[in-house]
Structure 1
Amino acid sequence: MNLQRARYLVAIADHLNFTRAAAELHVAQSALSQQIKVLERELGVILFDRRGPRISLTAPGIVAVREATFLLESADRAVERIRAAALGSEGELRIVHTRSWAGGAVALAVNQFRSKYPRIAITEHRGYTTRNTALATDGTVDIAVVRPPVDQPELTVRILDQERLLLAVPSGHPFSALDAVDRAQLADEQVVFWPRANGPGMYDAIVEIFWPTTAPNVVRREADDEQVLHAVAAGVGVAPMPAGRAATYRVPGVHMCEIEGPPQYLPVGVAFRADNSNLALRLFLDVVDQVVDTSLLVR
């Protein structure tokens, strides 16, 4: 599998849509489809189930995406190290960001670190909290951006930011006419959610906030927040949604509601091994201490 086809495969798997993947990659959809067919012929397997209105990964496709992701990350690390050597860089900081968060205090700390230590190379990737914590635990990365709480005793977690939690409802839903929704009203609602395995701590925290006395009636699980919002727009159900993701995607047909009572927030943090000896990690944590005012976080 060459790098170009690996990138194509991962992009399609991220979106489960050839049109959006082609737009992200800046290639024609026909060319993208042709390259995937070539890859399927080379491997001798079918990677995507193209039946129905939406494509999905086959069992070989899931394995292929995992291997393609590893291949791309290895290639990216190699490129960064080569460039760092050419620039006379002193060290490397490896960061994996969470898919559900961008910007805020984490981005501020990274930008400040770049300015203060321009000779330290930074390699950045993204994934779900569960994968990120695994990478930090086994030493593949130095810093994992996560959605706490994290049940990983090998890791130290530092809270850096927070994000408002809202409720996404279809535009024609009765909730869309309310100033705020009572939690008791959610008991019988059909719910769209993402897989708990992506971030068990965050998932359980959301359930505790919205459904403190009964389990949510989850009727569909989607791979990420964007697909969750599209399912809400289609009238499948309501969904808890971080405000930042709702603002980023702005899916038509979705109305964002408040929940009655005090505003609810989801924390954002970084996880790392305390026994990691990388000097770049220590310098990054020093920058975090300087630029992030944790006293402003809601307790």
Structure 2
Amino acid sequence: MNLQRARYLVAVADHLNFTRAAAELHVAQSALSQQIKVLEREIGVVLFDRRGPRISLTEPGIVAVREAKFLLESADRAIERIRASALGSEGELRIAHTRSWAGGAVALAVNEFRARYPKVAITEHRGYTARNTALATDGAVDIAVVRPPVDQSKLTVRILDRERLLLAVPSGHPFSTLEVVDLAQIANEPVVFWPRANGPGMYDAIVEMFWPTRAPNVVRREADDEQVLHAVAAGVGVAPMPAGRAATYRVPGVQMCEINCPPMYLTVGLAFRTDNPNLALRLFLEVVDEVVDPSLLVR
């Protein structure tokens, strides 16, 4: 798909009307319609359903529009990097961090990258794994820091780090006097959890580890780990908790316990599109290969 036909496709998809799309593009409607037909022949699928009074995208058409937008965004970013290079800059790396992790191998790689490539502008923000994955898939960020497993149909994921998974209990709870709790003991306990939509893969992995034979008795859902810990402190229930988050927040009234079984771990990874042409992304991945423990670099 060349850039011109990608722009034509996106314009028609935005308007679902060839006349209005042609007006926006300043081309004849017949020429626009012909270019879309050429694109359909090249790809070998029908992109628009033209049978009704109003055209609509087919299922392949929806995918084609998403890919066309990514192609156009990539081209725009390439132009920006070329112009930035002429001004003495070296481009930009966009990173979406996960809310449930800070520091560790990710921070090590970012800090080393900054030291090696000081002219590369790094734009960072923080969100949930599900949102970060969507941003990387759509090309809105170059790197998504995620809690695997995630949907890898469009993304490559590299595991960079891991941390222990513990059980947070209220300080007055019978478990609070124990350093180690058996899985069987928590089967019927009221549980505080965050919404599964934040990170479906991580949520399901935790449930499988802590409640392998039955669903957890979730009595309250809170927006994030900090609010979960405050609910635990209030005596609402117990909660699975990454060790790093527990250490970061240190909420009074919460005791952390280990589970009496082989150590439980959550992983942290980088998700990215291999077809992303950003040179800064490739340089960052090279830094990751050099500075992160090779035993954790699972591809």
Q: Same fold (TM over 0.5)?
A: yes
Task: Output the amino acid matched with 1:226.
Answer: E
Aligned equivalents of 1:186 and 1:282: distance in 2? Answer: 45
Gaps of at least 5 residues in structure 1 are 1-80
Output aligned runs, 1:25-36, within 5 Å: none
For residues 206 and 112 of structure 1, the distance between their equivalents in structure 2, rounded to whole angstroms, comes to: 32
1:281 maps to 2:281: yes
Radius of gyration: which is bigger?
2
Deviation of 1:88 after TM superposition, in Å, equals 2.3
Partner secondary structure for residue 274 of structure 1? coil
Mark the CA change 1:296 to 1:153 in structure 2 (over 3 Å): closer, same or farther.
Answer: closer
Offset at residue 231 of structure 1 (A): 0.2
Amino acid of the structure 1 residue aligned with 2:146: V
Q: Which amino acid aligns with 2:173?
A: H
Q: Distance in 2 between matches of 1:129 and 1:195?
A: 12
Aligned to 1:96: 96
Give the equivalent residue in structure 1 for 2:183.
183
Instruction: Supply the distance in 1 between the matched residues of 2:87 and 2:248 (Cα, whole angstroms).
Output: 35
Say whether the 8 Å CA contact 1:87–1:119 is kept in structure 2. Answer: no
2-structure distance, mates of 1:134, 1:179: 39
| Identity across the alignment (%) | 85
Q: What is aligned with 2:155?
A: 155
Letter in 1 for 2:246: A
Residue deviations 1:143-164 (CA, integer Å, cap 9, x gap): 0000000023100000000011
Q: Following TM superposition, by how much is the alpha carbon of 1:294 offset from its aligned partner in structure 2, in angstroms? A: 3.3
Equivalences for 1:1-299 in 2 at 5 Å?
88-295=88-295
CA distance in 2, matches of 1:202, 1:297: 19
Q: What amino acid is aligned across from residue 161 of structure 2 in structure 1?
A: D
How many residues end up aligned between the 2 structures?
218
Misfit runs of 4+, over 6 Å? 84-87
Could you list the runs of 5+ residues in structure 2 that have no partner in the other structure?
A: 1-80
Query: 1:62 corresponds to which residue?
Result: none
Against the structure 1 CA distance between its residues 88 and 262, is the aligned structure 2 distance closer, same or farther, given a 3 Å change threshold?
same
Q: What displacement does 1:177 show?
A: 1.2
Aligned-residue RMSD, C-alpha: 2.0
TM-score (norm 2): 0.70
Indicate the residue corresponding to 1:60 in structure 2. none
Asked if the contact 2:159/2:296 (under 8 Å) is kept, the reply is no
User: Could you list the per-position Cα deviations for residues 190-235 of structure 1 after superposition, in whole angstroms to 9, with x for gaps in the alignment?
Assistant: 0000000000000000001100001000000000000000000000
Q: CA separation in 2, counterparts of 1:162 and 1:224?
A: 19
User: Aligned in 2, Cα 1:226/1:85: closer, same or farther, shift over 3 Å?
Assistant: farther
